Amino acid sequence: MRFSYLIISFFISLSSLAGTSAWITCSNIDQSGNVSLTWQPATTFCTGTFQSYEIYCSLTSTSNFTLVQTIATSATSNFLHIGIMANQSQVFYYIKTTSTCGEIYSDTIGTINLDILNYGNGVAKLEWTSIIPPIASHKYYYIHRLYPQGTWQVIDSVKGNVFEYVDTLHLCGDSVSYSITTYSSTFCESSSNIFADFFQDAIPPEKPTLQSVSVDTTSGNAVLTWSQSSSSDVLGYIIYVQDAQGNWPQADTIHGADNTFYENLISSASDKIERYRIAAFDSCQNKSAPTSYHETMHAFPYYDECSSSDTLKWNKYIGWLSVSRYDIFYKIGTGEYAFLATVDGNTSKYVHNDLTGNKVYCYYIVAYNEDQTITSYSNIICLPTGISSSPQVLNANAASVSGYNEITLTFSVDSLAEIDEYKILKLNSAEGVFDTIARYNGGESSKIIHLDYGEVYHQQYYYKIVAENVCNINVRESNVINTIVLKTFNSANLKHTLLWEHFNGFAGGVERYDIYRIVDDGLPLKIGSTNWGSTGFVDDISDLNLIGLEGKFCYYIEAIEDNQNPFGIIGSSTSNISCAEEFPRVFVPDAFTPNGDNVNDRLFAYVTFPSLSDFIFEIYDRWGNVVFQTDNPQLGWDGKKNDKKVEQGVYVYHVKFSTAENQVFECSGSVTLF
């Protein structure tokens, strides 16, 4: 294996005595931290005789030097200092040359100590100590890297007044070694200690720029174009498509940093809007942040037989800073496409007038970005110039009570139908005339949710949705759906009776009613179901653990649609919440025997439906003295006062608490202690 060593260079200094000292030219640190010094031997010794080289060492540059070696041969030019651990800190040396003429000292020199900061993200910052003393002939430091193992390479150099270097590694996890070298004026190489560490590239690549998402006019598939990532280690790109729940699952992977085009072969962009994002990935599978999403354009025209015109609408292109314009193209029958019109980038509607009857007109839209260098195509949409069609789907899904006197209405509609508006109508009783309470534009969504208000605890309301074409003609209406009014009654035997009107609102009929109970403002719990013909349910709470409950029992029911809906929709509709308040019940035994046999050793006040915040259970002796008191229904009297047994006999108890309706309840009685 080849090792590089830390370089130390310096100028020698001459004493006033005639003759020259040894001149240190190189210093190298081996893998164990030993220092190898190399010098040019002393040449003249005045008229005297050479005696020795004395080598001194210290961990500081100014003091605490100790003699580490004496060499008696003047021709010797190197020395290996073993065990100095120069791979941990900088070490300083000088040489004293002794002759019969006197002593001459070299300059003090310091080794170069290399340290590396590992940021844990594939970046290594190398820092090393300066040549001491600085020598002008050391013009450069050379950075050596051992990677892969067995191959040392000079990866860069810096000037002699620079003492740090940053190396960015594209490794997925491996050990890398570094050392620093420099050269003296005599071309003697000096090297630092070897510093090794484990590095892993965790830096994600730069994300690409998604340029456009378009619909291929031949295949109807979505096609994407982008500019490639600027990162050098990119291996490819990840394609994301937003799903119906708003999530971004990975749809495909494109290999090759230069690949900047993708066609989704399972796209539905000819039928609906699709959203796409992309991200780059590198050789270590680091992923860039995804781009902002782009959205395909979806065009949907409808024909107005009232004016013999097609009204063409589309969603505005999303993904660019702005849209400069939209160009509209059309053809009749099997003819060629021709330019029709241009509208500005803030417009997403165009009316094509004076159409010929009994023809098929086809259209597509081309959007241009802000500087008109990038385009995006919509789907191709065709329709005949006949009578506008009615919606294929029009269904009232639910009329659910969602809050105090609040009703949430849900409707499914045909977003592709040539409908101008959908009108929501309301009837306040089983008979009468429906009134329009809301209007929604057609073609915007396949589901319409509307919030209405009414006396939901006492009255049923009826709703339907009507499709209106551009000629203000109602072309289709949905089933009529109604709210469910639930009433709850309690009896003295801990049974609650739930009653409601039969629900007729689903197009597919009712499969069942699910019953939910809420105790003391807690979470709803499904407690049962009834078949489609039921209008009542009895909840027997006598088997429940009623201790500690405050007595408030609330209910609601949910009607579930059968699977006979003509559109394949399973609707559900919930009633109002109806509550029953239970009155409290108290039972205190008339005797107990606290004799330690674990049978009737404690006297409890068995209470149902109290408010625990003000519960009191007290025991008095015959003179009216309190012998026991607690605010915890779970804590009974053990027949003691101040930890001493009381006398057998008759005692008086008193129980007091508030009900769930904040009414104070009190009862007293006697109990015999045996």
pLDDT digit string (tens) for 42-64? 876 566 788 999 999 999 988 99
- Residues 223, 263 contacting (CB under 8 angstroms): yes
pLDDT at 610: 66
Q: Give residue 10's pLDDT.
A: 33
Contact (Cβ atoms closer than 8 angstroms) between residue 69 and residue 94: no
Closest Cα partner for 312 from 270, 271, 343, 275?
Answer: 343
- Average pLDDT of the segment spanning 91-109: 90
Q: How many CB atoms lie within 10 A of CB 470?
A: 19
pLDDT digits (tens, 9 = 90+) for 300-326: 988 887 777 899 999 999 999 999 999
Q: Average pLDDT for residues 103-131, to the nearest whole number?
A: 90
Query: 180 with 141: CB under 8 angstroms?
Result: yes
| Whole-prediction pTM | 0.43
Cα 27 from Cα 8, distance rounded (Å): 5
Q: Respond yes or no on whether the N-terminal peptide bond of residue 524 is cis (omega within 30° of 0).
A: no
Tokens of 561: 């649609």
Q: What is the mean pLDDT of residues 528-543?
A: 92
Query: Does residue 551 or residue 147 have the better pLDDT?
Result: 147
Q: Give the pLDDT of residue 232.
A: 86
Residues 6+ away with beta carbon under 8 Å from 295: 213, 273, 274, 275, 276, 315, 317, 318, 319
pLDDT band (50, 70, 90) for residue 18: very low
Average pLDDT over residues 295-304: 92
| Element spanning 93, H or E | strand 92-99
Q: What is the CATH number of domain 299-384?
A: 2.60.40.10
What's the fold here for domain 486-581?
A: Immunoglobulin-like (2.60.40)
Indicate whether 2 pLDDT > 50.
no
| 48 or 359, which is more confident | 359
Residue 14 has pLDDT above 50, yes or no: no
Other Cβ atoms within 10 Å of 159 Cβ, number: 9
Vertex 256 angle, CA 255 and 260, to 5°: 100
List b or e across 532-549, with b for residues whose CB sees 16 or more CB atoms inside 10 angstroms. Answer: bebeebebebeeeebeeb
pLDDT of residue 4: 33
CATH of 585-673, one of 2.60.40.1220, 3.30.420.40, 2.60.40.10, 3.30.1950.10: 2.60.40.1220
Q: Is 383 helix (H, G, I), strand (E, B) or coil?
A: strand
Residue 9 has pLDDT above 60, yes or no: no
* Top-confidence residue, 311 or 13: 311
Model confidence band, residue 19 (pLDDT cutoffs 50, 70, 90) = low
Q: Which fold has domain 1-202?
A: Immunoglobulin-like (2.60.40)
pLDDT band (50, 70, 90) for residue 134: low
CATH superfamily of 209-295: Immunoglobulins (2.60.40.10)
Count CA atoms closer than 13 A to 406's CA, side-chain side.
Answer: 6
Please enumerate in sequence order all residues whose Cβ is within 8 A of that of 452, keeping only pairs 6 or more positions apart, or say none: 406, 407, 409, 426, 437, 461, 463
Given pLDDT bands bounded at 50, 70 and 90, which one contains residue 430?
A: confident
Closest CA to 141 of 108, 114, 107, 175: 114
- What are the strands of the beta sheet with 447-453, ordered from one edge? 394-403, 406-413, 447-453
What's the whole-number mean pLDDT along residues 480-486? 96
Residue 135 has pLDDT above 70, yes or no: no
Residues 6+ positions from 586 with CB-CB distance below 8 Å: 605, 606, 607, 608, 655, 665, 667
The mean pLDDT of 161-177, rounded to a whole number, is 90
Average pLDDT estimate for 593-618? 85
> Looking at the domain that runs over 394-482, which CATH code has it been given?
2.60.40.10
| Residue 355: partners with Cβ closer than 8 Å, 6 or more residues away | 303, 308, 309, 310, 361, 385
Residue 550 has pLDDT above 50, yes or no: yes
State yes or no: pLDDT of 8 exceeds 50: no
For residue 560, give both structure tokens. 């579930």
The model's confidence at residue 661, banded by pLDDT at 50, 70 and 90, is low
Q: Comparing C-alpha atoms, which of 242, 261, 262, 258 is closest to residue 250?
A: 242
- Distance, in Å, from the CA atom of 535 to the CA atom of 558, rounded to the nearest integer, reads 12
Name 568's bridge partners: none
State the Cα–Cα distance between residues 184 and 107, nearest whole angstrom.
15
pLDDT at 45: 58
The arithmetic mean of pLDDT across residues 519-533, rounded, is 93
| pLDDT at residue 133, rounded to an integer | 62
293 pLDDT higher than 50: yes
Q: How many CB atoms lie within 10 A of CB 472?
A: 9
Taking residues 64-93, report their average pLDDT.
Answer: 94
Contacts of 396 (CB under 8 A, 6+ apart): 409, 410, 411, 463, 464, 465, 478, 479, 480, 481, 505, 507, 571
pLDDT at 47: 63
Cβ neighbourhood burial of 646 (10 Å; 0-12, 13-18, 19+): middle
3-class SS string, 548-603: CCCCEEEEEEEEEECCCCCCCCCCEEECCCEEEECCCEEECCCEECCCCCCCCCCE
Give the strand order in the sheet containing 250-255: 250-255, 234-241, 275-282, 294-295
Query: What pLDDT shows up at residue 607?
Result: 77
Strand pairing of 435-441 and 421-427?
antiparallel
pLDDT at 6 > cutoff 60: no
Looking at every residue in the chain, the average pLDDT score rounds to: 89
Asked if pLDDT for residue 230 goes beyond 50, the answer is yes
Determine the pLDDT at residue 119.
Answer: 86
- Whether 209-295 and 585-673 share one fold: the answer is yes
Average of per-residue pLDDT across 636-649 = 93
Average pLDDT of span 612-626: 88
Q: Look at residue 313 in the predicted model and tell me its pLDDT.
A: 96
State yes or no: cis peptide before 133, omega within 30 of 0: yes
β-pair type (234-241, 250-255): antiparallel
Positive/negative CA dihedral, 60, 62, 66, 68:
positive
Instruction: Compare 1 and 171 and report the one with higher pLDDT.
Output: 171
Q: What is the distance between the terminal CA atoms of the chain, rounded to a whole angstrom?
A: 97
Q: Residues with Cβ < 8 Å from 416, sequence gap 6 or more?
A: 271, 300, 392, 443
| pLDDT for residue 25 | 86
Number of helices (H) and strands (E), helices first, in the chain? 0, 56
Q: Supply the pLDDT for residue 612.
A: 63
Integer Cα distance of 536 and 400 in angstroms? 19
Q: Is the pLDDT of residue 12 over 70?
A: no
Q: Which amino acid is at 471?
A: C
Domain spans of the chain, in order of start: 1-202, 209-295, 299-384, 394-482, 486-581, 585-673
Query: CB under 8 Å, gap of 24 or more: what pairs does 470-476 form?
Result: 470/302, 470/304, 470/306, 470/311, 470/388, 470/418, 470/420, 471/304, 471/305, 471/306, 471/388, 472/420, 474/423, 475/388, 475/390, 475/391, 475/419, 476/390, 476/391, 476/394
